[in-house]
């Protein structure tokens, strides 16, 4: 897929899916983001260009590792 931005920039995207039809990688102008899923198809890991990695061990929790910095995000639902 090629995207032409309003500023005239061109971005080429390549999407790759596995046999379960899960998105496993996106390549944008040579930079790759990869996605890993567990046995039931829930995304558990994302690796972005430059090595920044996010882990999703359970619903509503994300841990991002960027070099020596770890950021944890917890999302709560009104329903509990």
Query: What pLDDT, on a 0 to 100 scale, did the predictor assign at position 12?
Result: 83
Q: What is the DSSP string of 25-76?
A: EEEETTEEEEEEE-TTS-EEEEE-GGG-EEE-SSTTEEEEEETTEEEEEE--
* Model confidence pLDDT, tens digit, residues 11-43: 788 999 999 999 999 999 889 999 999 999 999
Query: What pLDDT, on a 0 to 100 scale, did the predictor assign at position 2?
Result: 59
């Amino acid at each position: 897929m090629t995207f032409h931005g309003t500023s005239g920039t061109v971005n080429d995207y390549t999407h790759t899916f596995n046999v379960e039809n899960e998105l496993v990688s996106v390549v944008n102008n040579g930079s790759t983001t990869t996605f890993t899923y567990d046995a039931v198809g829930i995304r558990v890991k994302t690796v972005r260009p430059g090595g920044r990695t996010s882990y999703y061990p359970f619903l509503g929790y994300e841990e991002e590792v960027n070099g020596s910095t770890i950021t944890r995000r917890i999302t709560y639902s009104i329903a509990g």
